[in-house]
Structure 1
Amino acid sequence: MQTWLSLGLRKRTVSKGSWENSQRGNRRSVRAAEPRTHYLPFSRNKNFVGREGVIAELQKLLFSHLASQRAALVGLGGVGKTQIALQLAHLAKNGSQSHQHYSVIWMPALSMASFEQACTRMIQVFDIEHADNEDPKETFKDFLSSEEAGKWFLIIDNADNMETLYGTTQEPGGIADFIPDCEHGCVLFTTRSREVAVTVAQTNVVELPGMNKKDARALLQSSLIQKEQMQDTVLADKLLDELAYLPLAITQASAYMKINKVSIKEYLRLLQNTDQDMVELLSVGFRDGTHYDAAQGAVVTTWIVSFKQIRALHEEAATLLSFAACLEPKAIPRALLPRLRSEQSMTRAIGTLCGYSFLSQREDGDMFDMHSLVHLATRRWNEDEDREEGIQQLALARIAEAFPTDDWENLTGAKMHVSWDTGLADACM
């Protein structure tokens, strides 16, 4: 169940004229509006651990005397972007940002409809007078743009879709049109898409990697009821290795263990049993008060949303993703990827996958790595979408082209890159 935190209400009137006057006087000092009003969807995550460096970097970008007005936090789905934003929001709410006091506002960017609903709610929370026929998005934008709003910190969460943010040729206009740019406000976007991050925040982009081993251990321990299980560090580390140090996978695993009274040893056995067991385990969502719904508490479900989004926006990138799942997830040669219409198309498709953190490019630029759990989830997606047979045929044709089978060394090289889990290795014999 979500907990909406709304504090310090008072009547506010914002007219169009007052907003325009405030725009002309933007560079004057902003009068502090007390008491502050806060709108947060979740209470503070008591199990939050680590990430000090990322939080410090975001604080510097948003709240220091050299601060920008916008920043973006980008990373793989499930890597912990929303939880970091939530931690930062509560720090700001409690007045720990350079002794400044901010109204802290949280708004989802899942769709224009959800954003408009949030604006309607904001008008109520901030007690803003408005006409019944006014667009709530415009009304709330005008309020934030006015000095009456005082200092504010706005989090735009799940800003993953360029079309939702900026509209399309057929339907121009999006959420970005209603996010004001003024000196007394700062905005943090969380997104899975590097394209979105760079577009909304220019150079003020913070990339979020996976957890280190120390923080992952701390997260697992804080999430368990039977904390004595962590005394077997070898077993705990094996579980974290299987979960690839991904925060959502760790909290998902601990939730499953708590609900089903399963030990780390038993959960690890299930996880390692078959790919089907692993996929099923990582598809089980949970509600913990820090996600919008249970589906967002499941790693596989979270990624499949992104897979579908990529396919809708960039079919060639989706093809590369499905193809890569037929290969071993580490050291994927660029030369082995299927040829696209042009080199520019290949660069853009690879950039899209790297932008979503589904592929990571090595320094030489000729090799790519794929997150092991992303690899598994993509194979499952291929099966569910009836793409597996077609993708495997494409993979076999490309491998045959790259490694002619009349040469034993070529055959050995081909088998090094083919994923044994897909059955393609046998086809290369």
Structure 2
Amino acid sequence: MVTSSWNQGFIGRAAIIKELKDLSAKKSHNRVALFGFGGAGKTQIALQYSYSCRGHRSVFWVYGSSFLKFSEDFKGIAQYADITLKEGDSDEKHLLAVKKWLESPDSGNWLLIVDNADNEADFANNSSAIAKFLPHGPKGMMVVTTRSRQVASRLGCKAIKVNKMTVEEAKSLFLQRCCDVPNIEEDEDDAVMEILELLDYVPLGIVGAAAYMTETQTLAHEYLAIFKKRDQSSKDLLSQGFNDIYREGKEDMTESILSAYFITFERLRQQMPMAAQILFLTAFLDRQSIPEELLLNSGLEGIEDPVRYRSAIGKLLCFSLVTKITCDASGKPAYELHSLVQLSIHAYLARQEVVTWRGRALDAVAQLFPEFEHRVRGVCRAYLPHAVAVLEGSEGPLVDLLSYRISRYLCQAGSYVSAEAHIRQCIAFREESGELDAAYWARIEVLAAILRLTARYEQAEDFSHRALQGREAALGPDHLDTLSSCAELAAIFNSLGKYDAAAEMNRRALEGRERILGPEHADVLSSMDCLVVVLGHLGRYEEAEFMSRRAIAGREKTLGLDHTDTLTGYLNLATTLRHQGKYGEAECMSRRSAEGREAILGPEHPDTLAAMSNLGLVLSAQGKYSDAEEMHRRVLSRREKVLGPNHLQTLRSLSNLDETLMLLGKYEEAERFSRRALKGREENLGVSHPHTLTSATNLAKILSVRGNHSEAEALHRRALEGREKKFGGKHPDTLTAMHNLADTLFGRGDYGEAEKLIRRATEGREKVLGFDHVDTYLARLLLAGVHASMGRVKEAEEEYRRVCGGVEKQLGAGHPVAVKCQKGYEGFRNGAGRTGDKTYNISISGSFVGGN
């Protein structure tokens, strides 16, 4: 995974190479830092050492200059290690999976090079942006190249300082690179030594000067005269440039290096203007992995002429100003610009030229960075660093457009913090300029989606309402963009538990899209899927099933039986069928989805594992607990391998498995998994996140069964308080938390508070879900048990009859929930459920629809 070619002309640095080899001979984990000023040759030393390791250990090369570059390179290790990364998951989950693999025995003895780790904030401590993903372990060696000794210290590295070359090394390097220059060794020794002194024996400056002299056949004394003349004639300008760079913390950018590059830039302008223009353009992009496509579409004069373009690129390569690399598996060429070259260009260009070239770079990237769609996600990923780079210091409408596209891509990639920052900049720009048009409302909708995805539902609802109203006014109620706002607001309503409103808004989006796009359009089928979820929450399973089958039929017709979207439809239908107790067909649909995804995506793809997980739930619902346990363990094992032990989907598998283990009576193991799931969600999501509160509830249920009522009650109270604060007292999840706490209190014999809570839950569910919703009946089932235990025989009798009849009507007489309700009623009628005896007061999960 080393993309740069081996430098066969590498000279000197023998002591440093030997020290690296001595350190690598140790069997323990090693961290080494090559630190020194820019241009000292740290990267070349690391490259030389890495090639000496080939054949003996795996070698991985990643760039540490920014989190974006590190993230892309570090995730590239996953392909080598056969780690599957799920699309849509956040970068952090992907990076933790790679780190876990490097720390595992499976990775073997490896060498990891982290090049250009210069941003101290990224390496300040073990929780910093990049440092937290760097591996520890019994094996492996990490070599960091950095300008900062502080980075080396904070990473716990053995620090090796890379100074300028010795006089002998510098001369050898210079003469080697100038071998085609006439009389370079015979008559030019004094001039050569003076040039080396002026270049401060810095390898980068030496290579740049030698490349220029070789390309132009300039003699040493001629080069020296130009060098001195440039220094004398523009002393004030050069001094100002040095001072600016020094204040910015780039003190290693010495005057002699700048002067050497300035000579090269001047000659490029005179001899090959296109080469100079390409170089100046790249100086305002991210300096690494610059796609050739970007250069060819930059609009530079003559760039479309392949002969002129190749000549210009050849000139830049010859002067060692850029390096050609292979960008990705497709083999498309890309280029890299050394950081010192980039800084030299910024110092060289006049102020107005900086503005001009920054603008041209912005134009080029804005033209190529696409509106996000799933099929262009790779293009977005490749151009993201360059898009971020050109935004710095830029302003105007193109900045707004590019920031909007970046935000949409980052949102889909799960980078919500960065996505929000970009979209808020867009909104501020349009508000300041008074452009409250259709584009403004599109940006408001993106912000609403980000707020929803980060569980800030109230703020999301406010912005979503604004977007819908704005689009209705600007575009009309039936415009596709307006219907898109309807769909987003529906998703927010669903998260807030406003299911009736969510269903109404989903129907509006569905009917409008179907009228405009036709019944088989992808957006129409997507609206159907969203409506299916809401109908399930409302307990309207027959309607949900009908809608789900419609969506499947449309996808089977337009996409085929084996398309991934069709397989997703099977999975959604399986969930609906499971809630109805139609377990046979639910199992069939689940297996169809799981097997289809495994054939297309592979056995360890996250979507395959999601289908397998759903199959495990279906098996458990049928009472096939051993089969369910086997399935959940298989999914958990694969998710731990593919996604890592703390990934949210891995934690979901832990939760599914602990519930199955509890049903099998394996309480000790169930508690262990449940505590692990709770801890993982607390660390990843925070203590008050809804999923964390769900894990707290699951653990509380296990503790109740094991007789630990005090801790169970505390966890249930925590869940209730958290949901009330997050959603309010009428949200279905809050009502479920009331039900669960009431059940625990009932088990402890605290009938008074249990009755108050279950009455609140019952009344709330009647208002929010309806009198005939299964969850409403479950609340009444517990209320019947309270009545019976407190000696209220008549009230208990009425509730039992009402519950049994209602559940049987909703789910059918053979459904397990209906069977349990009937057993509870029979036990009551036989006298076992009356005062003080809870044997037949069946405790069923506080929510029939809910999950984790």
> Structure 1-normalised TM-score?
0.54
**Structure 1 counterpart of 2:13, which letter?**
R
Question: What is the RMSD of the two structures over their aligned residues, measured on CA atoms?
Answer: 2.8
1:115 matches 2:150 = no
Counterpart position of 1:216: 170
Cα contact 2:199–2:260 (8 A) shared by 1: no
Using the TM superposition, give the Cα deviation of residue 92 of structure 1 relative to its aligned residue in structure 2, in angstroms.
0.8
Q: Distance in 1 between matches of 2:228 and 2:167?
A: 20
2:31 and 2:163 map into 1 onto residues whose CA distance is 20
Q: How does 1:297-336 map to 2 (within 5 A)?
A: 298=341, 301=344
Residue among 142, 148, 169 paired with 1:187:
142
The answer on 1:246 being equivalent to 2:202 is yes
2:321 pairs with one of 286, 289, 293: 286
Residue of structure 2 aligned with 1:69, choices 30, 33, 36: 30
Provide structure 2 residue ranges, at least 5 long, that are not aligned to the other structure.
236-255, 266-319, 326-333, 348-852
The residue type paired with residue 189 of structure 2 is: T
Shift in alpha-carbon separation, 1:75–1:116, aligned structure 2, 3 A:
same
| Deviation sequence 1:26-69 (CA, Å, 0-9, x none) | xxxxxxxxxxxxx10201112210000011112222x1237651
Correspondent of 1:151 among 109, 124, 137: 109
Q: Work out whether 1:54 is the aligned partner of 2:16.
A: yes
Q: Tell me the CA shift for residue 144 of structure 1.
A: 1.0
| 1:288 positional shift | 4.5
Provide closer, same or farther for how the CA distance between residues 185 and 130 of structure 1 changes in structure 2, counting only shifts above 3 A. Answer: same
Contact residue 116 and residue 145 of structure 2 kept, 8 A: yes
Please, which moves more after superposition, 240-249 or 65-74? 65-74
Equivalent residue letter for 1:301: S
C-alpha contact 1:295 1:302 (8 A) present in aligned 2 = no
Contact 2:124 2:154 in 1 (8 A): no
- CA separation of 1:300/1:110 partners in 2, compared to 1, >3 Å: closer, same or farther? closer
Secondary structure (helix, strand or coil) at the match of 1:274 reads helix
Q: How far is 1:150 from its partner? A: 1.1
State yes or no: 1:91 paired with 2:52.
yes
Letter in 2 for 1:199: R
Deviations 1:177-199 (A, max 9, x none): 11110112110111101111111
Residue 201 of structure 1 aligns to a residue whose secondary structure is coil
Render the CA deviation track for 1:350-381: whole Å, top value 9, x for unaligned.
Answer: xxxxxxxxxxxxxxxxxxxxxxxxxxxxxxxx
Q: CA deviation at 1:78?
A: 0.7
Alpha-carbon separation, structure 1, partners of 2:100 and 2:159: 27
- 1:83-108, Cα deviation, whole Å (9 max, x unpaired): 10010111111x4xxxxx21000000
**2:32 is equivalent to residue 78 of structure 1:** no
Q: 1:44 to 1:192 in 2, by over 3 A?
A: same
C-alpha distance 103-66 of structure 1, shift in aligned 2 (>3 A): closer
Task: Tell me, in whole angstroms, the C-alpha distance in 1 between the residues paired with 2:50 and 2:169.
Answer: 21
Distance in 2 of aligned mates of 1:155 and 1:56: 17
Q: Scaled by the length of structure 2, what TM-score is found?
A: 0.28
1:234 aligns to what?
190
Determine whether 1:260 maps to 2:216. Answer: yes
Cα distance change on mapping 1:67 and 1:84 into 2, 3 Å: farther
Q: Secondary structure, in 3 states, of the residue corresponding to 1:40?
A: coil
User: What's the secondary structure of 1:282's corresponding residue?
Assistant: helix
1:313 corresponds in structure 2 to none
Shift in Å, 1:207: 0.8
> Against the structure 1 CA distance between its residues 261 and 126, is the aligned structure 2 distance closer, same or farther, given a 3 Å change threshold?
farther
| Bigger mean CA deviation after superposition, 186-195 or 263-272 | 263-272
Q: CA deviation at 1:113?
A: 0.7
From 98, 117, 121, the equivalent of 1:163 is 121
Higher relative contact order (CA 8 A, sep 6+): 1
- Seen in structure 2, the aligned counterparts of structure 1 residues 280 and 243 have a Cα distance that, compared at 3 Å, is closer
Residue pair 2:29, 2:137 contacting (<8 A) in 1 also: no
Task: Indicate the SS of the match to 2:8.
Answer: coil
| Structure 1 residues 187 and 302, CA gap change in structure 2 (3 angstroms) | farther
Match of 1:129 among 84, 90, 109: 84
Partner Cα separation in structure 1 for residue 199 and residue 78 of structure 2:
42
* Aligned residue number for residue 59 of structure 2: 104
Is the CA contact 1:79–1:248 (under 8 Å) kept in the aligned structure 2? yes
Which residue is equivalent to 2:98?
140
Secondary structure of 2:322's match?
coil
Q: CA deviation at 1:259?
A: 3.0
- Contact 2:123/2:155 (<8 A) preserved: no
For 1:281, the aligned partner's letter is: A
What is the rounded CA distance, in whole Å, between the counterparts of 1:44 and 1:132 in structure 2? Answer: 34
CA contact (8 A) 2:35 2:148 kept: yes
How far apart are the structure 2 equivalents of 1:70 and 1:292? 29
In the aligned structure 2, how far is the partner of 1:266 from the partner of 1:75? 31
Structure 1 residues without counterparts, runs of 5 or longer: 1-38, 96-100, 305-429
Determine the C-alpha separation between the residues in 1 that align with 2:39 and 2:346: 8
Q: Secondary structure at the match of 1:91?
A: helix
Q: 1:295 to 1:129 in 2, by over 3 A?
A: closer
2:339 to 284, 292, 296: 296
| Structure that is richer in strand per residue | 1
Paired letter, 2:177: S
Letter in 2 for 1:286: L
Runs (4 or more) in structure 1 with deviation over 6 Å come to none
- Aligned residue number for residue 198 of structure 1: 153
Matched residue of 1:154: which SS?
Answer: strand
1:146 CA drift (Å): 1.7
Distance in 2 of aligned mates of 1:85 and 1:45: 11
Contact 1:70 1:188 survives alignment (8 Å): yes
Instruction: Give the drift of 1:152.
Output: 0.4
Higher helix share: 2
Alignment check: 8 A CA contact 1:252 1:297 kept:
no
**Which position in structure 1 is the counterpart of 2:2?**
40
Amino acid corresponding to residue 293 of structure 1 in structure 2: E
Quote the residue 1:271 is aligned against.
227
Distance 1:185 1:136 in 2: 20
Aligned length: 255
Partner of 2:613: none
The aligned amino acid for 2:32 is A
Following superposition, the deviation at residue 201 of structure 1 comes to: 2.8
Residues 192 and 46 from structure 1, CA distance in 2 versus in 1: closer, same or farther, beyond 3 angstroms?
same
- 1:19 maps to which residue? none
Between the two proteins, what is the percent identity of the paired residues?
29
Query: Which amino acid is the alignment partner of residue 10 of structure 2?
Result: F
Which amino acid in 2 is paired with 1:287?
V
Distance 1:60 1:67 in 2: 12
- SS across alignment from 2:185: helix
**C-alpha separation in 2, matches of 1:138 and 1:292:** 29
Q: Partners in 2 of 1:167 and 1:161 — Cα distance?
A: 12
User: In 1, are the aligned partners of 2:178 and 2:214 still within 8 Å (CA)?
Assistant: yes
Contact in 2 for aligned 1:295/1:301 (Cα 8 Å): no
SS state of the match for residue 73, structure 1? Answer: strand
In structure 1, C-alpha distance between the alignment counterparts of 2:198 and 2:343, rounded to whole Å: 14
